[in-house]
Amino acid sequence: MNSSTHDTEFDYIVVGAGSAGCVLANRLSASPNVSVLLLEAGKDAEPFWVRTPAGVGNLFFNERLNWKFFTEPEANLGDRQVYWPRGKILGGSSSINGMVYVRGFASDYDRWQAQGNPGWAWSDVLPYFKRAEHNDYGASESRGVGGPLHVSFPHRQHPTTEAFVRAGAAVGLTRHDDVVAGGDAEGVGYLQHTIGEGRRWSSAHAYVRPVRQRTNLAIESEAVVTRLHLDGRCVVGVEYIRRGQSRTIRARREVILSAGAIGSPHLLMLSGIGPPDHLQEMGVRVRHALPGVGCNLQDHLAINACYEVRKDASLNAALSGWHKYLNGVDYLLHRRGPLAIGASHAVAFVCSSTSIKVPDIQLSFRPLSFAFDSKNKLRMHTFAGVQFASAMLRPRSRGQILLRSPNPFDAPVIHANYLTDPDDMRVMVATLEWTRRLAATAPLADMVVREYLPGENVRSASEVVEFIRRSSQTLFHPAGTCKMGSDSLAVVDERLRVRGIENLRVVDASVMPTIVSGNTNAPTIMIAEKASDMILEDARS
């Protein structure tokens, strides 16, 4: 723990110190009359490659900091098991992600409200986005300053990134200075990142580091929560194992699950809350039948395209050979240069067809290219290259999380069910068409030497579909498995209380009824900001 306390009771127990859990620990413990325990299965650490923005590649397969989940074989992706990295460290996936800051569209949140979730419209959530931010864009109607989370543009943009943005404008996209402010229109512009002072600004760094000496906040790392303790339909505490020792802690007010779209439904089912037939099949006593637990799984499927470009049009050389050591010294001395920037540098939001009114494709661009070798080590391509990560934003396909066994240390079963809805393949084909269109448009086209991936041998409709099936990957945004709503599959209500259970909430990306149109880290932080107010309001009432 971060203090000498050995209390067996706390007012609030937060399970999972990821993007949401760290926010809750900060905001709930701001009241000196409230005691908070934050439990994290991973390490309480911030090693060099976590702090350093360009260290993402070193975290991607790091089993000490990463759960390293895999889906089950995906029938529509050539029976491949898709790798799903998730953070196992204080800060959760915000400590290992690409640091891209995207909120989604205003219509995403208006849709949540229309689905039976009052209080979650864009006008309701915008103040919480602003409260979280310290944005170098400056204060405005849509942007905030003074919040814990540093959000910034890189100190310098690469000329090839500017060429991508100008190519987008050339094909008719509106160039936005603030492309992710919350509008619903097609557009192109530079991306911001959760980076401050040249370092990753994870939720742990933003929300926990400044307050970890509060006497009413205890942090227990390497603590795997194995089940919830229930007294009838009321949650009264949790059981966890740390370094082989089991411990039970009681919650005087609430237990809050913030273990993510995989971990939160997994723990509910281990505790007997979930689809009754599945629980009985697994030998778990049914404490409360809630059929939607683990259902409604959504994720952003993406394809990566790579182009060889002129030697001066890529960062590959700067990140390879002796150049990378020079840039390393520059970073250590000044916190700048290629090691101080996030994964993707610019973005275009586009529509898959003229009948679509709100963009359903995200084209992220980076002025560098790489691949992982057979030992899962990131290697820059030996040629000068650039990459697109092109994603379908609002998939119609739905997956499910299930128990593998009653053993809490067995990874859950993940059925992503990618491309089970035929329209999703249409959108994926359109993502590649858009990528090729931008790469063939000046001034970006003037820099391109050749298409490396998919390559010139992927042209016909059948070849494109086959490429998507064998090459597409997750964009690492699982959501929706404890959906908010009032229908038969809803797990939590609009105040994120688990339906039919007292003193239990879920606060993380799993509560999204439909996935947002963009990266999920900023929306997850927003959800926790809003939840903290609701929790304290309910306590006062």
Task: Round to the nearest angstrom and report the end-to-end CA distance of the chain.
Answer: 31
**Per-residue model confidence (pLDDT) at position 455:** 96
Query: pLDDT band for position 322 (50/70/90)?
Result: low
Q: Are 366 and 345 in contact (CB under 8 A)?
A: yes
Q: Are 163 and 74 in contact (CB under 8 A)?
A: no
Tokens of 212: 């970890």
**More confident: 527 or 321:** 527
Strand partners, 195: 200
Average pLDDT of the chain?
Answer: 95
DSSP string covering 34-58, please? --EEEE-SSBS---HHHHSGGGHHH
**Per-residue model confidence (pLDDT) at position 2:** 47
Query: pLDDT band for position 328 (50/70/90)?
Result: confident
CA nearest 151: which of 100, 97, 208? 100
Residue 3 scores a pLDDT above 50: no
Residue 196, CA distances (Å) to 292, 331, 341, 401, 421 in order: 39, 13, 10, 35, 40
Instruction: Report d(CA 279, CA 468) in Å as an integer.
Output: 35
Percent share of the chain, pLDDT over 90: 88
Instruction: Report d(CA 343, CA 159) in Å as an integer.
Output: 16
The region of weakest confidence among 159-173, 228-242, 311-325 is 311-325
Cα three-residue angle 99-104-109, rounded to 5 degrees: 140
Active site residue 229: no
Residue 125 scores a pLDDT above 80: yes
Tokens of 74: 């995906």
Q: Does the annotation list 304 as a binding residue?
A: no
Instruction: Report d(CA 374, CA 363) in Å as an integer.
Output: 27
pTM here is: 0.97
For residues 470-493, one letter each, b for 16 or more C-beta atoms within 10 angstroms of the residue's C-beta and e for the rest, the string is: ebbbbbbbbbbbbbbbeeebbbbb
pLDDT tens digits for range 10-62: 999 999 999 999 999 999 999 999 999 999 999 999 999 999 998 898 899 99
Does the CA dihedral 128-134-136-139 come out positive or negative? positive
Q: Does the annotation list 97 as a binding residue?
A: yes
CA nearest 315: which of 447, 437, 175, 434? 447
Catalytic residue among 158, 300, 381, 477: 477
Residue 470, CA distances (Å) to 302, 308, 375, 466 in order: 12, 22, 20, 6
Q: Are strands 9-15 and 245-257 parallel, antiparallel or unpaired?
A: parallel
**Per-residue model confidence (pLDDT) at position 5:** 44
Tokens of 484: 């908010």
Helix (H) or strand (E) holding 379: strand 378-380
Query: What ranges do the domains of the chain cover?
Result: 9-540
Residues sharing a CB contact under 8 Å with residue 152, sequence separation 6 or more, in sequence order: 135, 136, 192, 193, 195, 196
Residue 156, CA distances (Å) to 64, 153, 162 in order: 33, 8, 11
Strand partners, 12: 36, 254
**Per-residue model confidence (pLDDT) at position 4:** 35
Residue 300 scores a pLDDT above 70: yes
Q: What is the mean pLDDT of residues 255-279?
A: 98
Instruction: Report d(CA 498, CA 226) in Å as an integer.
Output: 18
Any idea which architecture 9-540 has in CATH? 3-Layer(bba) Sandwich (3.50)
Residue with the two structure tokens 């891209």: 100
Helix pair angle (461-471, 422-439), 10° resolution = 100
Q: Are 348 and 438 in contact (CB under 8 A)?
A: yes
Instruction: Report d(CA 401, CA 420) in Å as an integer.
Output: 16
Could you list the beta-strand ranges (E) of 212-283: 217-220, 223-231, 234-242, 245-257, 273-274
Q: How many Å separate Cα 214 from the centre of its chain?
A: 28
Q: Using the 8-state DSSP alphabet, how is residue 330 labeled?
A: H
Q: Decide: helix, strand or coil at residue 398.
A: coil
Q: Are 256 and 234 in contact (CB under 8 A)?
A: no
CA nearest 396: which of 303, 299, 485? 299
For residues 412-427, one letter each, b for 16 or more C-beta atoms within 10 angstroms of the residue's C-beta and e for the rest, the string is: bbbbbbbbbeeebbeb
Does the CA dihedral 288-412-515-192 come out positive or negative? positive
C-beta neighbour count of 248 within 10 angstroms: 12
Instruction: Report d(CA 194, CA 523) in Å as an integer.
Output: 13
Q: Does the annotation list 99 as a binding residue?
A: yes
Strand partners, 450: 308
